[in-house]
Amino acid sequence: MSISFLALLLAGAAAGGFINGLAGFGTALFALGFWLQIMPPPQAVAISVVLSVSTGLQGVWIVRHSIKDNPRRLARFLLPAMVGVPLGVAALAVLDARVLKLVIAGFLILYGGFFTLRSALPQFERPTPAGDSLVGFLGGVLGGAASLSGALPTMWCAMRPWPKSETRAVLQPFNVLVLGFAAANFAWQGIYTGQILLLIAIALPVAMVAAQGGIMIFKRLDDSLFRRLLISLMLISGCILALREFF
């Protein structure tokens, strides 16, 4: 293992862990830019899933009271997602994953760019249980098909004027459980070899510490600023995803 390999591995772990601690999603989007330079995509994605779940558990802990206060809201997103994940995996047989990722990148760029330029944030206040369930289901499908489980739920939740703890009480456990399901699927396929487990053991402590840095900043943000952060990260994530697929 060369010094340059180790440096890129740890840089990806730090970037992915920090953004997960800050926003509750985005580990893979921000880490894979480093890791795809040094390892094949299946290995990089398998490692990012484990780090996403591990660092995400820290975020779940800080909003545990908000989760307990409104478990039905989370269930509306999560239960349909569990149905969507295996459908997304099955859809890989007929869908072009690259085209799917570019379509999602386009939506992220349009959404993030539009609301980033607006002075007023969207205000979508009325309860939408059917919409929540549909977004959760589609998030599960995208998680199984392209490891993009958080894209649609984050876009949806950023339009709701919820306190930041309530927003994160949906996004964080949603991503942890959906990606945990994906990690179990990778383990079943035998992807986690001894070499991959060694890389996880090296990267995980850095990701966990970086996530704590992100969480510290999260705690200092007010509700409006956190919503703007989510929208801006949608734009950045879309650009990263598009550039990765083109180059």
Tell me what pLDDT residue 41 has: 79
Question: How much is the pLDDT for 189?
Answer: 80
Domain ranges in the chain are: 3-246
Return the pLDDT at 188: 86
What is residue 119's predicted lDDT score, i.e. its pLDDT?
66
Kindly list the distances between the CA atom of residue 149 and the CA atoms of 14, 25, 224, in Å, as whole numbers in the listed order: 21, 9, 24
User: How many angstroms separate the CA atoms of 171 and 157, rounded?
Assistant: 8
Sites in the chain below the pLDDT cut of 50: none
pLDDT of residue 7: 93
Three-state DSSP class for residue 29: helix
69-91 core/surface letters (b: 16 or more CB in 10 A; e: else): eeeebbebbbebbeebbeebbeb
Q: Give the tokens for residue 132.
A: 């929540």
DSSP letter assigned to residue 119? S
Closest by Cα among 150, 46, 41, 51 to 97: 41
**Which conformational region is residue 108 in: left (phi greater than 0), alpha (psi within -120 to 50 degrees), or beta?**
alpha
Report pLDDT for 125. 75
Query: What does pTM read for this prediction?
Result: 0.82
